[in-house]
Amino acid sequence: MRRLGFSCGFPLLSQRITHQVARRDLPLPTRCRRRPHLGIFRSGITLSEGMATRNIDTSNAARKKEVKKETRLGLTYKKDKDFGEWYSEVCVAGEMIEYYDISGCYILRPWTMAIWEMLQAFFDPEIKKMNIKNAYFPLFVTENVLQKEKDHIEGFAPEVAWVTKSGQSEMEIPVAIRPTSETVMYPYYSKWIRGHRDLPLKLNQWCNVVRWEFSHPTPFIRSREFLWQEGHTAFATKDEADQEVLEILELYRRIYEELLAIPVIKGKKSELEKFAGGLYTTSVEAFVPNTGRGIQGATSHCLGQNFAKMFQINFENEKGEKAMVWQNSWAYSTRTIGVMVMVHGDDKGLVLPPKVAAVQVIVIPVPYKDADTQAIFDACTSTVDTLCKAGFRAEVDLRDNYSPGWKYSHWEMKGVPLRLEIGPKDLANNQVRVVRRDNGAKMDIPMHSLVEKVKEILSYIQESLFNAAKQKRDACIKVINTWDEFIAALNDKKLILAPWCDEEDVEKDVKARTKGEHGAAKTLCTPFDQPRLPEGTLCFASGKPAKKWTYWGRSY
């Protein structure tokens, strides 16, 4: 860890800590000594780039010069310029993750776990309403059992991590760490399901999985260990399975759209992109406008009877005949959080939707010289009490070794939806100054309508984050009809909606023809919500009659 000069708010002697992590130096304002009575900070924090790495001359002339250079910095990278670097920096500076000394593994800090728990708090009761029960199966699986699924494990095999030693001795039977739990669970489904009265069997588990990926790791989006829920259900009939696939998919849509304020497209995966072990795969697909990449948000598979055959999951039906179960599996992971960071974050840091923010409202005292600091602190504390009693997640930042301006910047970096400032003027007028994180809008609200106004503003923020994200996403959708239009749209980072013949070879051909340094184009999904396909419409890639509209693009 190196210590460098750091400016916070105004020229201050302070420190800046850089974390040397996984090939990246991520500058982070972490501490600075407080200057007493900092009314000047009221207008907001500004961190001056020029002052970041050298000792600071606090003379008036120097100060003026530095003020001019104020850049509202905080983050080194800009979202529109260096998206990849910006993303890593915002994840770390926003205190979501910390890099770890194993590539592709990240520490999920409390700020992340609070969001994950919020998503769980929505999803878990919803699946319980569907009579799905939680269980927990072991982390390890033997080669024998894993190989039972060998047809589709084949492609995944390089990603399976193995434990081969205990202490210094080689293990007699090495064990794999679950990359997913079909092979762990289904032998027991076979044991537990006997007759039609044992059906449906509907289990979910909240757990970690390990996939030792070799492509470029990205926090939340592609990590070697991640958290997810995996649901595995078995039914007597295909109809029941089909119905559940869509019910779960709707919950995934709600996670993205209602909680994370991210628009998604519901649809079916192509034969090439579906889970090879299943019958069909449905997904919610999100889009990251900055990179022009689609991202699979969550999947809900109908497995058909493939696994039932492999694992002999049979039952005696009502007629006394032997039958095979119909199965589904479905999952969403901590990837959801990465999509949220990518879609909503800005050059000041994270932007958290109120429904998932660990802290929805941060209250910051703004003490001025000669003002009654204690009275301001008391007003802040009682404001937070009122908000918490009303059910909001509110906190006060009373730390006296940080300036108000530094705190503004800090909580902006962490994406807190709403900032409340209380200074002497607010105290005198019995009001608070409110600042929105999403658009910077400021207003004064009277104390007597605090709860009602905060409720209203938070719900505006939630709604306008979704609307803004949807507008941006929709502006990237390009409907095309020909190959040339397809290539132009791809180069233009669009989310492409194209008429397609739905042939696997054609998709493979498109992949081959678009292979390049940015990765090939592929199908994202065939949306359930199909626009009209005029008769005689031809496939953009093969020229054969088109069967459907399908979304194409580069993806994560």
Task: Kindly state the smallest distance separating residue 225's Cβ from ligand 87F, in Å.
Answer: 12
Of 233, 329, 526, 550, which lies in the binding site for ligand 87F, with binding defined by CB under 6 A? 329
Options 311-319, 323-331, 436-444, 514-522: segment touching ligand 87F (CB under 6 A): 323-331
Q: What's the number of CA atoms in the CB half-sphere (13 Å) around residue 353?
A: 29
Distances (CA, A) of 227 to 58, 112, 205, 312, 368: 48, 12, 11, 29, 46
Could you say which of 6, 106, 275, 486 contacts ligand 87F (CB under 6 A)?
A: 275
Interface segment toward ligand 87F; rule CB under 6 A; list 174-182, 344-352, 381-389, 457-465: 174-182
By beta-carbon proximity to ligand 87F, the closer residue of 77 and 275 is: 275
β-strand pairing of 133-134 with 322-324: unpaired
What is residue 413's three-state secondary structure? helix
Q: Does 180 bind ligand 87F (CB under 6 A)?
A: yes
Report the residue number, 270 or 299, with the smaller CB distance to ligand 87F: 299
SS (H, E, C) 246-299: HHHHHHHHHHHHHHCCCCCEEEECCCCCCCCCCCEEEEEEEEECCCCEEEEEEE
Rounded alpha-carbon distances, angstroms, from residue 295 to 102, 384, 411, 482, 483: 25, 38, 28, 24, 23
Q: 64-83: buried (b, 16+ CB within 10 Å) or exposed (e) per residue?
A: eebeeebeebbbbbebeeeb
The stretch among 324-332, 390-398, 399-407, 419-427 that binds ligand 87F (CB under 6 A) is 324-332
Q: Is 153 in the site for ligand 87F (CB under 6 A)?
A: yes
Q: Among the candidate windows 55-63, 176-184, 372-380, 397-405, which touches ligand 87F by CB under 6 A?
A: 176-184
CB 272, CB 140: distance < 8 Å: no
CA distances from 69 to 16, 46, 53, 73, 376 (A): 18, 9, 14, 10, 32
Helix (H) or strand (E) holding 488: helix 483-491
Q: What's the closest the beta carbon of residue 153 comes to ligand 87F, in angstroms?
A: 6
| Residue 205 or 360 with smaller CB distance to ligand 87F | 205
Interface with ligand 87F (CB under 6 A), residue from 88, 205, 299, 306: 299
Q: What is the DSSP letter of 102?
A: S
Q: Which residue, 228 or 402, is less far from ligand 87F as judged by CB?
A: 228
To the nearest whole angstrom, how small is the minimum distance from the Cβ of residue 91 to ligand 87F?
23
Is the separation of the CB atoms in 529 and 470 below 8 Å?
A: no
Applying CB under 6 A, does 159 fall inside the site for ligand 87F? yes
Which residue type is seen at 273? E
Cα–Cα distance measured from residue 135 to residue 142, given in angstroms and rounded to the nearest whole number:
20
Work out how close the CB of 118 gets to ligand 87F at its nearest, in angstroms, rounded to a whole number. 21
Cβ proximity to ligand 87F, 331 vs 418, nearer residue = 331
Q: Which of 27, 74, 179, 367 binds ligand 87F (CB under 6 A)?
A: 179
| 211 is an interface residue for ligand 87F by CB under 6 A | yes
Using the Cα atoms of residue 158, residue 161, residue 166 and residue 167 in order, give the sign of their dihedral: positive
State the nearest-atom distance from the C-beta of 228 to ligand 87F, in Å. Answer: 7
Positive/negative CA dihedral, 341, 344, 348, 352: negative
Longest dimension (CA), the chain: 93
Kindly state the smallest distance separating residue 301's Cβ from ligand 87F, in Å. Answer: 6
74-to-17, 82, 192, 266 alpha-carbon distances in Å: 12, 15, 56, 37
| Stretch of residues binding ligand 87F (CB under 6 A), selected from 177-185, 241-249, 266-274, 473-481 | 177-185
Give the single-character DSSP code of 42: G
Among 86, 123, 235, 330, binds ligand 87F (CB under 6 A): 330
Candidate segments 120-128, 178-186, 390-398, 399-407, binder of ligand 87F by CB under 6 A: 178-186
Element (H, E) at 411: helix 404-413
Nearer to ligand 87F, 185 or 454 (CB): 185
What are the residues whose beta carbons fall under 8 Å from the beta carbon of 138, sequence distance 6 or more?
Answer: 178, 184
- Structure tokens belonging to residue 26: 């991520």
Q: Is 111 in the site for ligand 87F (CB under 6 A)?
A: no
Helices (DSSP H) in 157-274: which residue ranges? Answer: 182-192, 238-254
Based on CB atoms, which residue is closest to ligand 87F, 180 or 462? 180
Nearer to ligand 87F among residue 130 and residue 160 (C-beta) = 160
Q: Does 156 bind ligand 87F (CB under 6 A)?
A: yes
Report in angstroms how near the CB of residue 300 gets to ligand 87F at its nearest: 8
Whether 72 and 46 have beta carbons less than 8 Å apart is answered as yes
Residue number, 178 or 433, with CB nearest to ligand 87F: 178
Residue 328, interface with ligand 87F (CB under 6 A)? no
Contact between 331 and ligand 87F by CB under 6 A: the answer reads yes
Near ligand 87F in 222-241, by CB under 6 A: 230
Out of 17, 139, 160, 177, the only residue in the binding site for ligand 87F (CB under 6 A) is: 160
- From the list 156-164, 351-359, 449-457, 547-555, the region that binds ligand 87F by CB under 6 A is 156-164
Considering CB under 6 A, how many residues would be counted as binding ligand 87F?
A: 15
Nearer CB in complex with ligand 87F: 174/446: 174
Please state the closest distance from residue 507 (CB atom) to ligand 87F, in A.
19
Dihedral sign for Cα 456, 457, 461, 462, please.
negative
Min dist. Cβ of residue 275 to ligand 87F (A): 5
Residues at the contact surface with ligand 87F, assessed by CB under 6 A: 153, 156, 159-160, 179-180, 182, 211, 230, 275, 299, 301, 329-331
